Amino acid sequence: MAPVVQIKDIHKIYESGEIPVHAVRGVSLDIHKGEFVALMGASGSGKSTLMNMLGCLDRPTKGTYKLDGIDVSDLDKNELADIRNQKLGFVFQGFNLLARTTALENVELPMLYGRHRRLSAGQIRERAMHCLEIVGLANRADHMPNQLSGGQQQRVAIARGLVNEPQVLLADEPTGNLDSRTSIEVMGVFQQLNDQGISIVMVTHELDIAHYCKRNLILRDGVVVRDEAVPNRSIASNELGKLKSAEAAAKLIANPVN
């Protein structure tokens, strides 16, 4: 089967300053359906730039990018918007939910812009609700983002990313703003989705978070320096159990719940 993401020797050069910045210098990458990839690297390694190109938010200066068999390198702005809408799901570090808008309405948002599907308001609501159920927030559908914890907000964002049944879910440091426990919970949601066959690419600079993924890519100075499968990956439900026991031991919570 053809890879979902097929990148050949892409470059990104920022010309905005006096000196052109060569952020990505020739990355080639295939990501197949059902993969769970972590992009890692220090600040300035080009991982965010690569992520933006993967997400069709930014165009490569050079090289080709095929997403689900479609060459997106020379699509115009609106065609890229449609690709983002139909084939990609986004999860951002800062959640990027619309303020003063209920969780449900936030999740409905991508379906309002869908070009190919014509769904009724009822169908849209139903699908959004279904995605909230997947991330375990069905009972919070009417809450505003400011009434939700960081982890819950990120789960709403994940539900929003899922709602148009994307080929790839892209997550840019999804745990960057979360504490370790909530991070594990969010990674649990990702693992669960991945188990259902959804391909996920995420950027992180935390090793232990990357350890929940199946494949780790390490970037340095705009090139991939390491690309390996994670041998013994962490399973979120196990880790959460461990954490709970540890917290119970430290009297942080009342009693370990099994």
Partner 1 sequence: MRFTTIFRVALRALRRNTMRSILTALGIIIGIGAVITIVSMGNGAKARVEAQVAALGQNIITVYPGSFSSGGTRGGFGSAPTLTVEDAEAIAAEVEDIDGVSPEVRDRNQVLANGLNWSTNINGESPDYPYIKNWNIVQGAMFTDQDVKSLAKVAVIGKTVVDQLFPNEDPIGQTLRIRNLPFRVVGVLDVKGFSLFGSDQDDVVIIPYTSHMRRVSRRSNISSILVQGKTSDKLDVVKSRIEDLLNQRRKGREPDFTVRTQEEIAATATETSKTMTLLLGGIAVVSLVVGGIGVMNIMLVSVTERTREIGIRLAIGAHDRDVLLQFLIEAILLTVLGGILGILCGIGASEFASAYFGLPTLISPTSVLLAVAVSTVIGVFFGYYPARKAAQLDPIDALRYE
Question: Binding residues for partner 1, per CB under 8 A?
Answer: 52, 55, 57-58, 77-78, 81-82, 84-86, 90, 92, 96-101, 105, 109-110, 112-115, 118, 160, 164
Residue 11: count of CB within 10 angstroms of its CB:
16
The DSSP secondary-structure symbol of 236 reads H
Nearer to partner 1, 6 or 85 (CB): 85
Using the structure block, give the residue that is written with the tokens 């899922």.
Answer: 162
Closest CA to 168 of 55, 81, 58: 55
Shortest distance (Å) from residue 121 CB to partner 1:
8
Nearer to partner 1, 35 or 172 (CB): 172
Nearer to partner 1, 109 or 134 (CB): 109
3-state secondary structure of 185: helix
Nearer to partner 1, 173 or 239 (CB): 173
Q: CA-CA distance, 55 to 87, in Å (whole number)?
A: 9
Shortest distance (Å) from residue 252 CB to partner 1:
35
Nearer to partner 1, 104 or 186 (CB): 104
Shortest distance (Å) from residue 113 CB to partner 1:
4
Nearer to partner 1, 90 or 190 (CB): 90
Q: Which two tokens stand for residue 71?
A: 């060459």
Shortest distance (Å) from residue 231 CB to partner 1:
34
Asked whether the beta carbons of 208 and 31 are under 8 A apart, the reply is no
For the chain, the first-to-last Cα distance in angstroms comes to: 41
Nearer to partner 1, 161 or 188 (CB): 161
Shortest distance (Å) from residue 194 CB to partner 1:
21
3-state secondary structure of 198: coil
Strand partners of residue 67: 5, 70
Strand partners of residue 38: 202, 216
Residue 90: CB partners within 8 Å, gap ≥ 6?
Answer: 55, 84, 96, 157, 160, 161, 169, 170, 171, 172
Shortest distance (Å) from residue 71 CB to partner 1:
19
Shortest distance (Å) from residue 169 CB to partner 1:
13
Asked whether the beta carbons of 119 and 112 are under 8 A apart, the reply is no
Q: What are phi and psi of 78, to 5 degrees?
A: -75, -35
